[in-house]
Amino acid sequence: MALEIERKFLVLDDSYKHEAYASSHICQGYICSERGRTVRIRIRDDQAFITIKGPSLDGGLSRYEFEQAIPMDDAEKLLTLCDPGIIDKTRWLVKSGKHTFEVDEFFGDNEGLVVAEVELAYEDEPYEKPHFIGKEVTGDRRYYNSQLRQRPYRLWGGEETSTGQ
């Protein structure tokens, strides 16, 4: 099992789309999304995965993650067993220095929300922030995909926006 270390940010504008070197469509559901553990089914373009994540450590900066490719047919069947609220998004990949930022543009009940993540080798590893990166929201549970399934962005009302304001 690997330790996932990542920082999460709000996105200021859509300039990331012009800087992206790749994008993919992601549809994912959650079989379990209790505090401290999640089991996710994800279809990313023409590939499917099951992912198990442990509790967040270090204020949401890291957690254990296990991911395994599964047959597409199995993933489609497993999605029917997931809790209500499917996450639908496009992931854009943007290079910045020696890192790649994954920018997620959400649709459906989370339309209008755009967040970026960067994975790190160790917690205090330096990285170059692209100009479209806004406020850091690492550890803010509202921005976890499993939480967006339960309380979508459209319900937030006057709460913080994806523009980082």
Q: Which residues are known catalytic residues? A: 30
Nearest to 68 by CA among 2, 22, 120, 135: 2
Nearest to 92 by CA among 115, 110, 120, 69: 115
Q: Tell me how crowded residue 92 is: count the other CB atoms within 10 A of its CB.
A: 23
Q: What angle do CA 143, 148, 149 make, to 5 degrees?
A: 155
- Helices then strands (H, E): number in the chain? 3, 9
